[in-house]
Structure formats: structure tokens, C-alpha cells
Chain A
């Protein structure tokens, strides 16, 4: 005969508090979360940003070790899923290598010519800016995370807002920095806008991302400006811009006229692709300080249309971008510290967060 052992009197969640107190606790937690979100949005969350930077730093060795540990697994997976593609790619790369070796001989002379042309057209993309090459950590912590992580940070001189380029052109900008790591917000992110210039016409506009694998949307381009598919688009680099002048952003793929707004929307394919990227270069670029207009320099008899006053007014008036855009690089837009976001009515200071 088997002795029946009494089952312990345990129940799932037996020590749950009464319903009223339980609701109160959940309400308190929800309220705390909402307060945190509000603090983060208001920018008063300095401590939250610091905590995130510290976490980025603390997790750096863990993520590096994880990358090393999972590397064989990822390689095996890629081998299985991309085997045929890899074989084709290998053959294509061999051909490209042979061709590239021949091209290298001619590249030196072409580079000199290119530098001369770029300088002549005011497109010399920050030749004197120091650069830091970093490895890209392609390991998003969440499915909703669309930034890239780099294995270099503040110790290498990287700071929030600095532009990041890959071989093809502008890729994004630094959005978070810890001593040895940094995060890049891509220009394809809808929350990032970049002041750009059409190379042929010199017309200035603002590009905004529409998500990965989608073209950038450049607006504020005058309806009279002729825009052709294939035309290059570069950073405008106007005063106060976070990007140096002349960085390749992409090429025009489509143009839509907006007769009512007397402008056209230009679709631009980004030159830099983030997918499968192994390395990226951070330009240690610091924007030029905005000169503060001095009211004492303006005589009291100066009419309201005097340049100094126009500049001052435009810098605080985001509702008048058309005049500015029609008057490229040296125009009024150039004097606005918020040009890239102001032109689109976006919010400045998004460098500190998403």
C-alpha cells in the first residue's frame, strides 16, 4: 500500500495582495513609467542618458564576446542560406579585383583631377577633418532598434552629432557615445533630416529618411529648378550645419512636382548602404559656431530690410524657408543654427535620443 503524501497547500500567486491594493500598485508602476517617458522627452533625463551611456559601456565587452562566440553559428547559417549567392559573389569579386588592379594605376591621376574639380565647385568634403574608422556591431538588442553600434567612442574623440560615412557617402550621425562605444542614427531614419544641395543647380533643400531600403525625400526645392535623375546630392554644409559641405548623400531617382506649394519633392537613393556594413568612418567634425548678430553695429536709421536684421529674423522664423532656399549656400538659411530640422518643422536636439 502506498502512502499518500499530502500535497503542499501552494497555489499560483497565492500571496497576491487584495485586488484593490493590486490595482493601486499597477497604477503606480504605470505612472512611474509615464513619468520616465515624460522626463526623457523633456530632456530633463540627464541621469537617464548617463545610465544608458554607462550600460552601453558596460555591455561592450559582453557584446564583443557574444559576437565572437556566435560567429561560427552565424557563419554556418550564412553558409546554408547564402551558399549559391556566395559562389556567384565570389566569382564576381574576382573579376572586379582584376579590373580594380588595372584601375588603381589610373586612380592617382583621376584623384588629383577630382580634388581640383571638387575644390573648384566648392564640394571638397572636409579634407582636413580627422577621421576614425570603427567596426560596425550588427547586433540590435531589440527588433525596434534601428541604430548601428560602433566599437569606437569618446576615447577616440567621437562626440554626439558627428557625421558618419561609409565608402559610398554619408550614412548617419552619432546619437549616443560612451567611452568605447557609440551609436549611429542613420539618414534613412524618418527623424533625421539633412541639409542638402543639388550639385547641378546648387539649389538647397532638406532630406528626410523614409526607412531602410527606401529613398530619402528632399523637399523645399524650387519648382523652377531643373532636376534630373542620376544627379548627385551632397550635404550643403551651410553655416551651423552638423555635416561638412560636399559629403555625397545620394543620387536622384525621381522627382515629383508640387505646383500648389510651388516646389518639388526629389527622391534620392542614399549612397551609403547600412546593410552588411563591416566598417564605418566617423568624421571628427565640429560645426562652425554661429556668429551672434550684434545690434550695436546696426544704426538706428537702418531700414527693416537691412541684411543684419533679415538674418536675425530668419534665424528665429522657421516659417520663411522659401526665401532662404531660393538663395542657396550663402543665403539666409545658412545663418540659421537649426536649418536641418527647422526647414522641415522638426525638432532640434534629437542628437541626445531617438
Chain B
């Protein structure tokens, strides 16, 4: 089935948002949950490069913004920056082996969550100061490492034939 790339990307984002809200949120540990949409942002960067990472990360962040009560646009900003940052390692040895890729995903998502916490405090979100940040970051990072393989495959499918799966040398 040859669907247009934008349609496939919308499908990926909507599916990730539904999974996040419908399934992953219920599997929280003490209120801390993996962040599928941030994983999608990182995967977009790793598979598609800086530009796509930023754009898809922005879209993924907007989806999160719609579902939470933190200032609207904050997750979009974090998704955009995280996706773009992940794009800089696209095609490098950091994402070729599955282990390296998992580590890269974990670090990128962890950094994204930290960036969110910092930005949220900067814009005056006092309630986030009471969150166990290390636990939130570790939960997100570990889940990102585990999901790195499937996320890369899904984004490779969504972005079409002009990208190479990160495990292969072009």
C-alpha cells in the first residue's frame, strides 16, 4: 500500500497518542509513565535527519500538549528541539548497532524530559518542582531504549523510501 508520507506520519502520531492515552498511561509506576510521542520525535530525527526530526517532533509535542494541562506549546517546543538534536546523530555509528541505538534513544528522551522540566520551571510551573525528576527521566529513558527498534522501523516506513533504516549502512 503506497500511502503519501504526510498521511502515514499523521497515522503514526495519532496511533502513538491513542496508545499513550489509552494504554501506556494506565501502566504508570507511581504516576510516572513512558512518553511514546517523545520516542516518535527522537525516532524521526534518527531516521529522517534534523529537519524531519524537528517537524515531526513539533507535531508529536503538539499532540501531547492537547492531552495535558501544562502550558500549551511547551511539549511542542521540547519535541521540536529533541527531534532536531536526534537528527544530528542520524547516519552515524551512534545509531547503527541496536545497542548503540537504544542508548541514543534513551539519552535523547532523557535529555528531552530534563529540558521540559527546566523550561517548565522557567515559565513558572511551580507544581513541577514537586516531581521526582530522576524517576521521571529514568522511566522515560528506559522505555525509549526498549522501544528504539520498533520506533525506528515505524518511522522508516512512514518517511518513505528516501531514508535508510538506521541499522544499515547506505
Closest-by-CB residue of B relative to A14 is: B162
Q: How large is the interface on B (under 10, 10 to 19, 20 to 34, 35 or more residues)?
A: 35 or more
Residues of chain A contacted by B120 (CB below 8 angstroms): 144
- In the complex, whether A5 has a CB less than 8 A from a CB of chain B is no
Which residues from B are CB-within-8-Å of A146?
A: 31, 127-128, 130-131
* CB–CB B162/A66 < 8 A: no
Check if B80 sits within 8 Å of A26, measured CB to CB: yes
Q: A211-B130, A354-B69, A354-B70 are in contact. Are A16 and B170 (CB under 8 A)?
A: no
> A41 in the interface, Cβ–Cβ < 8 Å?
yes
Contact A70 B27 (CB under 8 A): yes
Contact status B123-A41, CB under 8 Å: yes
Q: Is A10 an interface residue (CB 8 A)?
A: yes
A139 and B26 in contact (CB under 8 A), knowing A40-B71, A145-B68? yes
In the assembled complex, how far is the CB of residue A340 from the closest CB belonging to chain B, in whole angstroms? 16
Q: Tell me the complex Cα distance, A135–B91, Å.
A: 48
A354 in contact with B84 (CB, 8 Å):
no
Judge whether B66 and A13 touch: CB under 8 Å.
Answer: no
The docked-state distance in angstroms from the alpha carbon of A188 to that of B67 is: 22
> In the complex, are the beta carbons of B116 and A26 less than 8 A apart?
no
Interface centre among B61, B84, B117 (most CB of A within 10 A): B84
CA distance A59 to B162 in the complex (A): 34
The answer to whether A22 touches B73, judged by C-beta atoms less than 8 angstroms apart, is no
Q: B126 contacts the other chain (Cβ, under 8 Å)?
A: yes
Number of residue pairs spanning A and B whose beta carbons lie under 8 angstroms apart: 197
A13 / chain B contacts, CB cutoff of 8 Å: 48-52, 87, 90-91, 163
B51–A17 contact, CB under 8 A? yes
If A51-B66, A62-B18, A141-B21 touch, whether A189 touches B72 (CB-CB below 8 Å) is no
The distance from the CB of B24 to the nearest CB of chain A, in whole angstroms, is 8
B70-94 Cβ-contact flags toward A at 8 Å (1 or 0)? 1111111100110010010011000
Residue of B125, B127, B136, B164 contacting most chain A CB atoms (<10 Å): B127
Select one of A11, A143, A210, A354 contacting B125, CB under 8 A: A354
Q: Are B130 and A190 in contact (CB under 8 A)?
A: yes
Is the CB–CB distance between A40 and B129 below 8 Å?
no
Interface centre among A9, A141, A183, A211 (most CB of B within 10 A): A141
Residues of A within 8 A of B18 (CB): 59, 62
Residue of B nearest to A16 (CB): B49
CB distance from B97 to the nearest CB of A (A): 15
**Judging by beta carbons under 8 Å apart, are B164 and A10 in contact?**
yes
Q: Whose C-beta in chain B lies nearest to the C-beta of A56?
A: B67
Q: Is B148 at the interface (CB under 8 A from chain A)?
A: no
Other 6 A-B pairs with CB < 8 A, given A66-B21, A146-B127: A10-B163, A45-B72, A143-B33, A147-B69, A211-B131, A212-B130
Q: Which A residues contact B (CB, under 8 angstroms)? A: 7, 9-17, 22, 25-26, 29-30, 32-37, 39-41, 45, 48, 51-52, 55-56, 59, 62-63, 65-67, 69-70, 73-74, 138-147, 175-176, 183, 185, 188-191, 209-212, 214, 353-354
Binding site for A on B (CB under 8 A): 18, 20-23, 25-28, 31-33, 35, 47-52, 54-55, 58, 61, 64-77, 80-81, 84, 87, 90-91, 113, 116-117, 120, 123, 125-131, 135-136, 139-140, 161-164, 166, 170
